């Protein structure tokens, strides 16, 4: 079977998390051929792959959302859209009413338009935005609304006009733009479509927009409704929707995904690969240091700054503590520099950025693992810590609470859950574990047993193998 995996902002340009999940899925199913439809914001990433593709990998289709820069068109052309076509576009932009995605795809892919800029420069598009301005934003300068809507729908227009490789089955790895490509593929080829939602994409975008400085207050609702509209498209079109834990399923149903479509397939780890890490390495540990680690990309959504602020408090009370932040630092270099400046301003001594490392070489040496993300799905970093018998301090996002505390599974807590952005609570939890070796060992053992019994990599792969056969034939 030929399977096209559709990814946004992850594989093969970014390591860890969803990217590792994709690579594992392909590698463990040699009976299928896989292709990747990779969506990235920045064309500078072209060809910069951070993974060695498995032998059953066919090809990668790269699409960059900044590609419109080379397109040219003449202002004010009139394409004579029908009233239904205009209304459909207006529904997409405003978030009011139903969007007929099939008709929208046919319109935006039609030969009426040479490129995306051709449409955005048209009188038809101008009239739609002008009507929205008069009806909903009469107090807002029209030019601000016009350019806001332009930037909002431009990535969608780029994607809709791209060609999609033919496959027997399409598998979107999030909603949003990856979801829309999946819906378009099903529309074009009539092939089945699966969605796996690791985190709730529309909720994540909502959180970002609420905090964002680049979206003016009066337009935040417009952006938020737009992303919920995109998610709704694949909830409706997908043949099967997979999520990783129970709370995510509840949210998807709340957002309009039919309950009967949604199944839960948790992530898994190959527990045997971590067996040798259950006991802390002895060599080099006569220094009496307490080692704290974070397996994480240095990007804003992982909230490294809260991690640093928390450790500043830990270091005051436990001067023999040392903190390793293990993961790439070049994905957002500006944010990394801000983190370094924060360390300097707080005069923290014992924080070390290791860069990208082999987790197996480090995690066994840690006493405590920390994750302070403001949004997550079901973090592989926590599963790796559990498989290694390490207690975890994590924020209450995504599936972290279910991983560490379980759902009445009888294994006991594998760590401590803290509020998002609350570095004081995070510091207090780390200090508690640093001071109590028996508690660390007990929580580490609980996590190991839960991972061994409930989060097996073999079960995760087998469930997807069965799903592919059932849906794809």
**Inside any domain, residue 464:** no
Question: Which tokens sit at 350?
Answer: 């014992």
Q: Residue 412 burial (CB < 10 Å; 0-12/13-18/19+)?
A: middle
Looking at the fold, whether 190 and 140 belong to one and the same domain comes out as no
- 145 and 175 together in one domain: no
Task: Tell me the pLDDT tens digit for each residue of 320-376.
Answer: 999 999 999 998 999 999 999 999 999 999 999 999 888 888 898 899 999 999 989
Q: What's the pLDDT score for residue 67?
A: 76
Query: Are residues 256 and 362 located together in one domain of the fold?
Result: no
% the chain with pLDDT above 90: 79
Same domain, 15 and 29: yes
Question: Is 290 found in the same domain as 257?
Answer: no
Among residues 101, 134, 153, the one where a domain terminates is 153
48, 196: one domain: yes
- Both 174 and 138 in one domain: the answer is no
Question: pTM for this one?
Answer: 0.91
Query: For residue 470, is it within any domain?
Result: no
294 and 407 fall within a common domain: yes
Whether residue 186 is contained in a domain is answered as yes
> What domain range includes position 116?
70-153
Same domain, 212 and 131: no
304-316, pLDDT tens digit by residue? 999 999 999 999 9
- Residue 324 contacts residue 379 (beta carbons within 8 Å): no
One domain, residues 133 and 220: no
Are residues 358 and 236 both part of a single domain? no
pLDDT tens digits for range 412-455: 999 999 999 999 999 999 999 999 999 999 999 999 999 999 99
**In this structure, are residues 385 and 375 in contact, taking their beta carbons and an 8 Å threshold?**
no
Domain boundary among the residues 214, 231, 264 is at: 264
Structure tokens at 392: 């975890």
Domain boundary among 229, 264, 299: 264
Quick check: 271 pLDDT over 60?
yes
Q: What is the pLDDT of residue 386?
A: 96
**Angle of helix 83-94 relative to helix 220-237, nearest 10 degrees?**
110
Contact 264, 213 (CB under 8 A): no
Residue 467 resides in a domain:
no
Per the listing, tokens 């459909």 go with 88
Q: What is the CATH number of the domain that holds 202?
A: 3.40.50.2000
Structural domain contains residue 354: yes
Which element (helix H / strand E) includes 263? Answer: strand 262-264
The tens digit of pLDDT for each residue in 79-109 reads 888 888 899 999 999 988 889 999 999 999 9
pLDDT at 277 > cutoff 90: no
Same domain, 138 and 245: no
The answer to whether residue 463 is domain-embedded is no
Give CA–CA dist 43/162, Å, rounded.
15
Residue 461 included in any domain? no
User: What's the domain count of the chain?
Assistant: 3
Report which DSSP code applies to 303: T
Is 191 a member of any domain? yes
């Amino acid at each position: 079977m030929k399977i096209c995996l559709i990814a946004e902002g992850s594989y093969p340009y970014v390591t860890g998390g969803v990217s590792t999940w994709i690579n594992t899925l392909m590698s463990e199913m040699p009976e299928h051929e896989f292709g990747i439809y990779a969506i990235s914001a920045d064309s500078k990433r072209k060809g910069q792959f951070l993974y060695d593709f498995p032998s059953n990998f066919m090809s990668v289709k790269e699409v960059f959302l900044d590609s419109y820069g080379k397109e040219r068109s003449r202002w004010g052309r009139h394409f004579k859209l029908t009233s239904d076509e205009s209304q459909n576009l207006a529904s997409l932009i405003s978030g009011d009413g139903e969007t007929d995605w099939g008709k929208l795809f046919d319109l935006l892919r039609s030969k009426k338009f040479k490129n995306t800029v051709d449409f955005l420069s048209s009188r038809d598009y101008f009239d739609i935005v002008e009507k929205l301005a008069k009806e909903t934003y009469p107090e807002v300068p029209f030019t601000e609304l016009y350019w806001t809507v332009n930037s909002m729908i431009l990535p969608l227009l780029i994607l809709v006009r791209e060609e999609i490789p033919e496959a027997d089955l399409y598998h979107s790895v999030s909603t949003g733009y990856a979801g829309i490509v999946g819906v378009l593929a099903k529309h074009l080829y009539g092939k089945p479509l699966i969605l796996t939602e690791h985190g709730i994409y529309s909720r994540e975008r909502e959180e970002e927009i609420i905090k964002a400085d680049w979206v003016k207050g009066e337009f935040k609702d417009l952006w938020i409704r737009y992303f919920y509209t995109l998610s709704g498209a694949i909830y409706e079109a997908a043949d099967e929707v997979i999520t990783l834990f129970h709370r995510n399923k509840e949210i998807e149903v709340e957002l309009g995904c039919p309950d009967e479509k949604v199944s839960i397939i948790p992530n898994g780890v190959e527990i045997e690969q971590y067996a040798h890490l259950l006991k802390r390495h002895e060599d080099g540990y006569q220094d009496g240091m307490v080692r704290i680690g974070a397996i994480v990309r240095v990007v804003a959504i992982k909230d490294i700054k809260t991690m640093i602020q928390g450790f500043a408090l830990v270091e005051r009370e436990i001067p023999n503590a040392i903190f390793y932040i293990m993961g790439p630092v070049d994905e957002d270099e500006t944010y990394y520099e801000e983190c370094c400046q924060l360390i300097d301003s707080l005069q923290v001594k014992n924080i070390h950025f290791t860069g990208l490392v082999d987790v197996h070489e480090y995690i066994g040496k840690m006493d405590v693992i920390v994750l302070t993300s403001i949004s997550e799905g079901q973090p592989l970093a926590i599963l790796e810590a559990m498989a290694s018998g390490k207690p975890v301090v994590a924020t209450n996002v995504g599936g972290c609470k279910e991983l560490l505390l379980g759902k009445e599974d009888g294994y006991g807590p594998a760590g401590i859950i803290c509020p998002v952005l609350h570095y004081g609570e995070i510091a207090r939890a780390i200090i508690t574990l640093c001071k109590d070796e028996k508690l660390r060992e007990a929580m580490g053992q609980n996590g190991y047993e839960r991972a061994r019994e409930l989060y097996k990599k073999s079960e995760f792969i087998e469930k997807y193998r069965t799903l592919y056969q059932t849906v794809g034939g």
